[in-house]
């Protein structure tokens, strides 16, 4: 009889263990480490399948446990949260074989599986989820974990719109908004609360701008400390100046596709920072703020300046934000508000100022290009290829693909 799967796994783990001397050849190359990560997801999938079968047979009861999660805590030394996650994954994989199959092949990571499962739980509608699962899995394979969450929220909005024609869900969200202010025995202030998505967006935008203004070289404060200082600074400015009524309202960029705007479907409807909005909220904001509309079926403003201007203008910047969404370095998660517009063919070397020659990069990866001598090329489909200083190809960054519209089911 050949060796069991467990003994083979033990041999594989031993072979992958780093030796006492990291230079002895036991360390993995970049490609090997990537493959190791894929195999780790496959191992998670296999473990979930075994846990699921163990759970369905009720074998945890033979050890005097009340549930599978309790057995994992006791016999596998897991914490309560991890044991609960493992059981949820196992049950989701059993209920959704399409997602489980992609997980078992390594096409989906464990994190993406967790996010898909979270969408299914939030919906509370297994049959509706089964119809939408293929689209979500396809996007999850090609996109990032954040893409899975974004499309999941979009689908949930469409599902809610079909369930709730009178708008009570949006009203309930507004009703939940609150802010508590209290103080400790020593006099320190404590803030806690909940805000609607659009109001949270306003708060984050204001804090980020003030943090950038206050930040100095060598700043060692924690991010939470920077936010606190920024909030106090904003309030000090507000309290120290008179309020002039009738001034221009704050500017906000909202990306909305036509089908969503006219109420035919739930598609693109979000702020420049990626916060999902419902159509009614977007229409309300259009009444009270200076709104920039990014056209996607035709251009209403010139977006190519060629050599007439060095910097990208406001319309070009917003078009780049829509196309790139954030930093275009492969794997970077910085959103568009944390990026700078870069000339791929440098302006100093007669590069034009147009979308075909522009790309968004965070400050770190922008510096990597200029000071680090990394290079990049962009094709007509806005696919960016990255190259190391020695000329070897590093990776590929694809432009943002707008999620497909989710049609709102109409009641007969």
In a domain, 2, yes or no: no
In a domain, 354, yes or no: yes
Q: What is the pLDDT of residue 323?
A: 85
In a domain, 368, yes or no: yes
What is the C-alpha to C-alpha distance for residues 274 and 253, in angstroms, rounded to an integer?
Answer: 11
Residues 84, 90, 96, 99, Cα dihedral to 10° = 100
Residue 181 — very low, low, confident or very high, per pLDDT cuts 50/70/90? confident
266 sits in which H/E element:
strand 265-266
In a domain, 241, yes or no: no
Domain residues for the domain of 251 are: 195-212+247-298
One domain, residues 276 and 332: no
Q: What is the pLDDT of residue 89?
A: 94
One domain, residues 144 and 261: no
Q: Of 11-20, 115-124, 246-255, 277-286, give the lowest mean pLDDT range.
A: 246-255
Q: What is the pLDDT of residue 285?
A: 62
One domain, residues 131 and 203: no
In a domain, 185, yes or no: no
One domain, residues 56 and 114: yes
How many domains are there within the chain? Answer: 3
Is 105 or 271 the better-scoring residue by pLDDT?
Answer: 105
- How many angstroms separate the Cα of 328 from the Cα of each of 149, 314, 358? 20, 19, 11
One domain, residues 350 and 381: yes
Residue 103 — very low, low, confident or very high, per pLDDT cuts 50/70/90? very high
Q: What is the pLDDT of residue 71?
A: 92
Is 26 or 61 the better-scoring residue by pLDDT?
Answer: 61
One domain, residues 340 and 382: yes
* Residue 260 pLDDT exceeds 80: no
One domain, residues 318 and 292: no
What are φ and ψ of residue 353, in 5° steps? -100, 85
Of 380, 382, 375, 412, which Cα lies nearest the Cα of 397? 382
Compute the chain's Rg from CA coordinates. Answer: 25
**% residues pLDDT > 90 (the chain):** 24
Choose from 80-89, 262-271, 308-317, 403-412 the range with maximum mean pLDDT: 80-89
One domain, residues 323 and 278: no
Choose from 41-45, 177-181, 335-339, 370-374 the range with maximum mean pLDDT: 41-45
Q: What is the pLDDT of residue 245?
A: 41
Average pLDDT on 340-361 reads 81
What is the C-alpha to C-alpha distance for residues 82 and 238, in angstroms, rounded to an integer?
Answer: 45
Average pLDDT on 237-247 reads 53
Q: What is the pLDDT of residue 299?
A: 37
Do the Cβ atoms of 391 and 377 come closer than 8 Å? no
Residue 235 — very low, low, confident or very high, per pLDDT cuts 50/70/90? confident
Distance of CA 8 to the CA centre of its chain: 37
One domain, residues 122 and 201: no
One domain, residues 44 and 85: yes
Residue 293 — very low, low, confident or very high, per pLDDT cuts 50/70/90? very low
pLDDT tens for each residue of 144-162: 898 898 888 888 878 877 6
In a domain, 408, yes or no: no
Do the Cβ atoms of 68 and 60 come closer than 8 Å? yes
Choose from 25-34, 234-243, 290-299 the range with maximum mean pLDDT: 25-34
One domain, residues 156 and 208: no
- Helix, coil or strand: residue 5: helix
Q: What is the pLDDT of residue 328?
A: 92
Residue 404 — very low, low, confident or very high, per pLDDT cuts 50/70/90? low
Choose from 45-54, 126-135, 204-213, 302-311 the range with maximum mean pLDDT: 45-54
In a domain, 153, yes or no: yes
One domain, residues 157 and 73: yes
Choose from 11-20, 97-106, 295-304, 367-376 the range with maximum mean pLDDT: 97-106
Residue 303 — very low, low, confident or very high, per pLDDT cuts 50/70/90? very low
Average pLDDT on 284-299 reads 47
């Amino acid at each position: 009889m050949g060796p069991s799967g467990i003994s083979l796994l033990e041999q594989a783990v031993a072979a992958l263990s780093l030796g006492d001397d990291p230079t002895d050849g036991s360390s993995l190359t970049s490609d090997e480490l990537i493959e190791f990560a894929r195999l780790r997801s496959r191992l998670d999938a296999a473990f979930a399948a075994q846990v699921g079968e163990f759970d369905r047979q009720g074998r945890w009861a033979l050890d005097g446990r009340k549930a599978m999660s309790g057995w994992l805590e006791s016999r596998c030394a897991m914490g309560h949260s991890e044991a609960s996650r493992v059981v949820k994954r196992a049950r989701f994989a059993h209920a959704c074989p399409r997602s489980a199959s992609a997980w078992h092949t390594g096409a989906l990571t464990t994190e993406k599986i967790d996010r898909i499962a979270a969408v299914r739980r939030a919906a509370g509608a297994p049959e509706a989820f089964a119809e939408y699962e293929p689209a979500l899995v396809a996007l999850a394979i090609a996109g990032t974990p954040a893409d899975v969450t974004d499309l999941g929220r979009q689908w949930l909005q469409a599902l809610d719109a079909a369930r709730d024609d009178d708008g009570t869900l949006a009203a309930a969200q507004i009703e939940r908004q609150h802010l508590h202010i209290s103080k400790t025995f020593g006099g320190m202030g404590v803030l806690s609360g909940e805000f609607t998505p659009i109001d949270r967006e306003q708060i984050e935008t204001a804090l980020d701008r003030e943090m950038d203004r206050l930040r100095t070289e060598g700043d060692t404060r924690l991010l939470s400390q920077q936010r606190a200082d920024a909030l106090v600074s904003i309030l000090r400015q507000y309290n120290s100046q008179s309020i002039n009524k009738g001034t221009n309202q704050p500017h906000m960029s909202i990306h909305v596709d036509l089908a969503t705007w006219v109420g035919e479907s739930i598609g693109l409807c979000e702020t420049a920072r990626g916060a999902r909005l419902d159509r009614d909220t977007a229409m309300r904001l259009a009444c009270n703020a200076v709104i920039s509309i990014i056209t996607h079926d035709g251009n209403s403003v010139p977006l190519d300046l060629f050599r007439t201007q060095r910097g990208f203008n406001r319309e070009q910047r917003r078009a780049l934000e829509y196309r790139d969404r954030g930093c275009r370095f492969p794997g970077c998660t910085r959103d568009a508000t944390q990026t700078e517009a870069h000339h791929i063919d440098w302006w100093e070397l007669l590069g034009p100022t147009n979308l075909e020659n522009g790309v968004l990069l965070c400050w770190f990866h922008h510096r990597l290009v200029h000071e680090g001598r990394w290079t990049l090329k962009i094709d007509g489909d806005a696919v960016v290829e990255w190259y190391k200083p020695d000329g070897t190809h590093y990776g590929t960054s694809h432009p943002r693909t707008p999620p497909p519209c989710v049609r709102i089911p109409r009641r007969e």
